[in-house]
Structure 1
Amino acid sequence: MTNPMHGPNRFKLGIFSANADGGLTLTKVPERWPAKWGEIVEVAQMADRAGIEFFLPIARWKGYRGETNSRQHSYETFTFAAALAGVTKNIALFSTVHVPMVHPVFAAKALATVDQASNGRAGLNVVAGWNPEEFALFGLDKVDSPYDQAAEWIDIITRLHTGESFDFKGKYYDLKGAVSQPGPVQDPRPVVLNAAFSPPGRNFAANHADFLFTTFSSIEAGADTITDIRARAATTGRDVGVYTTTHVVCRPTRAEAEAYYERYTVTEVDAEALDHLATAREKHTQSHDEATYRLYRQRFAGGAGTYPLVGTPNEIADQMIRMAEAGFAGTTVSFVNFKDDMPFFLGKVLPLLKEAGLRE
């Protein structure tokens, strides 16, 4: 089968972060996502039946402290994707991998295993790594040029997926007789995406990824990123699609949506966890533009700095239409509680996107 990331819909959708407790939120509301396996399966199957293109987990090894210690409870993403391959039919299943924590020979075999088990639905989300607490957990030091390491890493995986044996000597890896079989179903390798905002991250995506995921402070500002990444990719003769990422509160009325957003991001926010995350990300990563850090503390409580879609189905569909018009190939969505919140979103917003010609 064709990986759904290459499917016909003009504006594609992915479910993001359901493998971790709290999802992307930093809230204390009792209905916050518990990331129980049985409910994750229900959500994956719900998305699969609705025609959602992909299921994207986050890679987390330590929580963000505070009362909830959000994301401490999370599932490792290769085994997560492999397990979901057996209970879904069509949806693409990504594994999110921190390059320094996972050796490329292991990653190549694990990714090919997921691709075989899912009949060509595997995807790889490459993260160069940024969190010093997680580096310390593995006994690692953060490298000076993480995207240089990531470039060696993905090159090795791509060569391993040919099935041929080779030696490799680089700055970060020294391999003798490297080989991995079986290879993936997808040729030459499964779909690769990279989430980045910084120039080095964009250069990596232009050279090695099929899709770049990026954030923005406004939809209009995001269009500049699309222009930039297309220009970078053009110099390498490649075509790289650009996605964004959002958190969603979809309700019958705007008043209901705004009231709930205020409740879970302000009234019942886990302030200690929020402070820890925002400070750490601004200090150690360039995954967001400066305006997001400066102006949108609520966005970090609501969805780790992603763009908020808060309102009625019509309002949310209208914003997604604007994203498509700006040139985005699609977006991820996350919720306070995936199982409770997704049915209304899928039932009300997807038909509007179909009417707008963005989805079949």
Structure 2
Amino acid sequence: MSTTKKATEVGVFIPVGNNGWVASVNAPPTPGNYEHNLQVTRLAEQLGFDFALSMAKWRGYGGPSRHWDTTLESLTTMAALAQATSSIKIWGTVHMMIFPPAVVAKMVSTIDQISNGRVGLNLVSGSNPHDLGQLGLWKPLDHAGRYELADEWIKVVKRLWTEDRVDHKGRFYELTDCMSNPKPSRPPTLICAGASDRGFQFTIDNCDASFFTASDDDASLQRGKRAKELAAKAGKPEFKSYGLFTLIPGETDALAQARLDHFDDGVDRIALATQTAEYSSDVSAKQNFAAQYFIDQGARVSSVLGGAMTGSAETLARRVARTIIEAELDGITLIVPDFIEDLRFVGERVLPLLEEFGVTTRAGATTRAAA
């Protein structure tokens, strides 16, 4: 048993899309509506979670499960959840390619007031040509061009949050004597899921934390270490990294695996084929880590994202703790099949056990204190 305890934040990737992250006709009921997400976020707050994060998605993948055909818009959802909660941090997602920076600057400042400073933003440099193209807003930029846009976009937003008037003329945006009030009460938390070296560099230069899929395989562990190495080279030791974990819990390891087998038995091959085709059509798909993750899911014909962990409470605690420590993670973001029962299971039974394996969380301490 380790005597060194690593303090770690815990968040939930709330299911603003129907089916959550299980592309299967056997997925637990997940409607992708506001009422369900309100229940999930309030439960996470009750369990002592540090933050709730929502994705931004504009087009689903169809198939018999109609996977993600119904999705809530991220920032308006988080504004409502900010009003309905009191302590959990509220982080939305924005596609920088389609939202003008001055519009988002004011939207986030408004949510800052609603949340009393709990707002944060997940920055996305692209998606796929179908998701945003249907809106007429897809820009045919290569990988480097997207991050050039992203660099300019966030610099404009930060100026609007701190300066009275902004004049700016760049490659992508032009502002003339632009005023944006109110200002945020504090700098909003900024995260980004770019996992290429260029994506990591953008994130380190402009954000507070990196956000990427995590598991206990060697590639995932090295990804976490790489983020810390780049941050150290940039002289930003305070930079954080958050791992995205897919957990499938059960009373025993065998029962947890049986749940995954059940989801895979009903895997939506049509939805996965559409997902793969859409991301593969992007000229920068090979440089886009998120795209490769979705393409890989289709190639494996898996109902869940790669790296999903199945197991009992003890098994999950051991595997998650190992990943946190070896990948040098500062926080974890959780995906589960059933965002009520499974989230409660993880909060009440898995997170408290992390301490036995060298990791402490506020959520785990909250659960222990309530017991």
Under a length normalisation based on structure 1, what TM-score does the superposition of the two structures give? 0.90
CA drift of 1:132 comes to: 0.3
CA drift of 1:289 comes to: 9.4
CA drift of 1:32 comes to: 3.2
C-alpha distance in 1, partners of 2:271/2:119? 32
User: Would you say 1:11 and 2:8 are equivalent positions?
Assistant: yes
CA drift of 1:29 comes to: 1.6
CA drift of 1:18 comes to: 1.5
Summarize deviations over 1:100-134 as a string: whole Å, max 9, x none: 11110010011111111111110000001121012
| Number of equivalenced pairs | 348
Contact kept in structure 2, 1:299 and 1:308, CA below 8 Å? no
Q: Which stretch of structure 1 is more off in the superposition, 107-116 or 276-285?
A: 276-285
User: Would you say 1:348 and 2:346 are equivalent positions?
Assistant: no
Summarize deviations over 1:242-290 as a string: whole Å, max 9, x none: 12112121111111100110111x2011111112223433553322597
C-alpha distance in 1, partners of 2:294/2:93? 23
* Alignment match, 2:60: 63
User: Would you say 1:20 and 2:20 are equivalent positions?
Assistant: no
5+ residue gaps, structure 2: 366-371
* Alignment match, 1:169: 169
User: Would you say 1:252 and 2:251 are equivalent positions?
Assistant: yes
The residue correspondences of 1:196-345 to structure 2 (distance < 5 A) are 196-215=194-213, 218-239=216-237, 240-264=239-263, 266-282=264-280, 284=282, 285=285, 286-288=288-290, 297=299, 301-303=303-305, 305=306, 307-326=307-326, 327-345=328-346
Distance change in 2, residues 1:317/1:339 (3 Å): same
* Alignment match, 2:182: 182
Q: Which stretch of structure 1 is more off in the superposition, 347-356 or 160-169?
A: 347-356
C-alpha distance in 1, partners of 2:122/2:294? 23
> Secondary structure of the equivalent of 1:84?
helix
Summarize deviations over 1:307-350 as a string: whole Å, max 9, x none: 31210000111111112211011221112221232222211112
Q: Which stretch of structure 1 is more off in the superposition, 280-289 or 268-277?
A: 280-289
* Alignment match, 1:358: 360
CA drift of 1:237 comes to: 2.6
C-alpha distance in 2, partners of 1:55/1:332? 8
Contact kept in structure 2, 1:215 and 1:287, CA below 8 Å? no
**AA matched with 2:181:** Q
Contact kept in structure 1, 2:276 and 2:295, CA below 8 Å? yes
CA drift of 1:227 comes to: 3.2
Distance change in 2, residues 1:181/1:300 (3 Å): farther
Distance change in 2, residues 1:228/1:357 (3 Å): closer
Contact kept in structure 1, 2:14 and 2:41, CA below 8 Å? no
Summarize deviations over 1:163-192 as a string: whole Å, max 9, x none: 410101111101111221111121xx2000
CA drift of 1:19 comes to: 1.4
CA drift of 1:206 comes to: 1.6
5+ residue gaps, structure 1: 1-7
* Alignment match, 1:193: 191
* Alignment match, 2:368: none
C-alpha distance in 1, partners of 2:279/2:332? 21
**AA matched with 2:260:** Y
Q: Among the aligned pairs, what percent are the same residue?
A: 28
Contact kept in structure 1, 2:204 and 2:231, CA below 8 Å? yes
C-alpha distance in 2, partners of 1:185/1:95? 17
> Secondary structure of the equivalent of 2:210?
strand
